[in-house]
Amino acid sequence: MKKNRNVIFLGLTSLFTDISSEMMFPILPLFLSSTLGLNKAFIGLIQGIAEGTSSILKFVSGYISDKVKKRKAIVTLGYTLSNLSKPLLSMVTNGYEALALRFTDRVGKGIRDAPRDALLSESTKKRGSAFGLQTSLDTLGAAIGNILAFLLLYYVTSNYRDIFKYSLIPGLIAILIVSLFVKDVKLKTQKKYKLKKIKLSKKFKLFLFISSLFSFANISYAFFILKAQDLSVTAALIPIVYLVYNIVYSLTAYPIGRYSDKHSKVLILGIGYLLFSLVSLGFALASSSALVWLLFAMFGVHMAIYKSVSRAFVSDLIPKREHGTGFGVYHTTVGLSLLPGNFLAGMLWDKFGSTYTFLFASILSVLACISLITLFRRELKKT
């Protein structure tokens, strides 16, 4: 019962955290671009540093959680730091302050992600389903956050800073849930097991290489939002466009996760990579706002596959007792690739235009897909 409740309450924690996050995420690129006047390269740098630098903590926190076997305390600390730092964006006046707070928010995410994924994987044998449910609740929260952002912008205020302040309320609820209801899982052989230096299998190393390549291509959502604005989608409608993405993401994550428990995760993940390539190509060629809605829906399907299946596949490639460290290595590797990828994407936009940014993402995603299918071709037939 304790294990089942962890799946539910970790999902609810993610739900309320994402309500808080997604109240501000759709409008954050607009705030950085229009209110603070930052160029695309600096916006890419903010997104890249926030994700890449904090990813180092994902390895550290995962390793520590394996050593002390008290994952809940680390997870709670991470959620607390993230949910208390986001509302402070309402007070920033320049790009460097925005960078500092985005970094703080992502440090919290870096602290929590690996031990949370380890705790989730230890709380059930149906890992694809568990990660799918967690992703669905996470994204349902995102959809609710988008709706709240739209309603606040349309009926209450046109000031982006006010939205950041309101995001504190669901953030506090998330902190209470993880603090009061999530429990550590005691493993049967806990006393006999001594964590040694992790030895990465050949398959895991290959997957880390492929994940790095795709992560380099996996440019920030901020670029998609800014492109939508360039295609004449109004600021008030941006949260609704992002809502389409999150609804599709939420509705497809759990069934895709369940499907991956019985079929080839490699094939499903390859399809996810290819979808991102098609979405990026669509944004590169788009000339009207009508196509934006379809592309964001496709983006949602891609994220459902990527977030659910990739983590489930990682859990299959590493020993159960080293899940914290293994997820930490994975998240760190993926995150560190985001920094140069997003900065380069922003520079391409500033120097040559948005078309080159999205073509860059599209081509590299295809290469990642080909690499995955080629290097893991034996796993394609496994069910």
User: At residue 86, does pLDDT exceed 60?
Assistant: yes
**In which band, very low, low, confident or very high, does the pLDDT at 376 lie, cut at 50, 70 and 90?**
confident
C-alpha distances out from residue 176 to 18, 79, 181, Å: 15, 10, 8
Residue 189 within any structural domain of the chain? no
Give which of 111, 110, 103, 112 is closest to 85, Cα–Cα.
103
Is residue 193 assigned to a domain? no
Return the pLDDT at 321. 65
Residue 131 in any domain: the answer is: yes
Identify the burial level of 219 via C-beta atoms within 10 angstroms of its C-beta, where 0-12 means exposed, 13-18 middle and 19 or more buried. buried
Question: Is there a contact between 16 and 141 (Cβ–Cβ < 8 Å)?
Answer: yes
Model confidence band, residue 190 (pLDDT cutoffs 50, 70, 90): very low
Q: Is residue 191 part of a domain?
A: no
In a domain, 237, yes or no: yes
d(CA 78, CA 60) in angstroms, rounded, equals: 13
Q: Is 325 exposed, middle or buried (0-12, 13-18, 19+ CB in 10 A)?
A: buried
Do the domain assignments include residue 91? yes
CB 82 within 8 A of CB 108: yes
- Please, which pLDDT band fits residue 311 given cuts at 50, 70 and 90? confident
Token reading at 135: 């992703």
Amino acid residing at 11: G
Structural domain total, the chain: 1
Q: Is residue 9 part of a domain?
A: yes
Largest distance between two CA atoms of the chain: 62
What average pLDDT is seen over the chain?
86
In this predicted model, what pLDDT tens digit does every residue of 113-172 receive, in sequence order?
878 888 887 777 666 777 778 877 887 888 899 999 999 988 888 889 999 999 999 999
The token pair at 114 is: 């690996």
Instruction: Assign residue 289 the CATH number of its domain.
Output: 1.20.1250.20
Angle, CA of 322, 54 and 348, to the nearest 5°: 120
What stretch of H or E contains 14? Answer: helix 2-24
In the 8-state DSSP scheme, what is residue 84? Answer: H
Q: What does the alpha-carbon distance between residue 22 and residue 147 come to, in Å, rounded to a whole number?
A: 9
Residue 284 to residue 355: CA distance in whole angstroms: 4
Q: What angle do CA 207, 208, 214 make, to 5 degrees?
A: 90
For residue range 259-289, what is the model confidence (pLDDT) as tens digits? 877 778 888 999 999 999 999 999 999 988 8
Q: Is the pLDDT of residue 31 over 80?
A: yes
Question: Is residue 195 domain-resident?
Answer: no
- pLDDT, residue 1, reads 44
Domain extent for 126: 2-183+200-381
Would you say the C-alpha torsion 121, 123, 125, 131 has a positive or negative sign? negative
Least confidently predicted of 175-189, 221-235, 269-283, 287-301: 175-189
How many C-beta atoms surround the C-beta of residue 23 within 10 A?
32
The predicted model scores a pTM of 0.80
Dihedral sign of CA atoms 106, 112, 117, 118 in order: positive
